Amino acid sequence: MTVESSFDLLTQLGMIFDVQGRAARIVQETRSALAALPAPAGERKRVLAAYPSMGSAMGLEVPAVFGGGIFDDIITRAGGVNAFGGLSDQQLGAINVEALAAANVDVLVIGLYQPDDDAKKFAGQLFAQFPQWPASRTKTYTSVSDSLYLGPLNAVAVAVKRISDGVRAAG
């Protein structure tokens, strides 16, 4: 799945539920919002998309890490490159503390999964655990909720903007 294919899915769902006009409007608004964002400039920064409470809920000792498909597409559109991009779901599920420690992370994206998730707290914990990351030294992070994946509003433009802001902040 990519950002573009998410528009196709939304259009198809609009047809299934007989709300084609609403689906078309959401797709057009999202495309317009994406087009209005500044074009990525400079060197692409390495971005880690991590959902700490999702990892805990899955019994992991590390955050759930998102990569591949729409996740990589969103991060690329924001001017970054996914630190764990292109990996399969199985490979992403096997990411451990050592893999995170070896990662080169310029921008940390904290995914908010539970209503009481605290992005600042999660970022602080990960920065303390992985002080070697460039993002830890500069305290460069942003947060997203369901906008990073195909959520109920397909709010991918929100994720692209927030991550783009983080990438620009990382210099």
Quote the domain boundaries for residue 14: 3-169
> Is a pLDDT exceeding 70 seen at residue 154?
no
**Residue pLDDT, tens place only, 24-82:** 999 999 999 999 999 988 899 999 999 998 887 788 789 999 999 999 999 999 999 99
CA distance 98 to 130: 10
Assign residue 147 the CATH number of its domain.
3.40.50.1980
Q: How many domains does the chain have?
A: 1
Question: Phi and psi of 49, rounded to 5°?
Answer: -100, 110
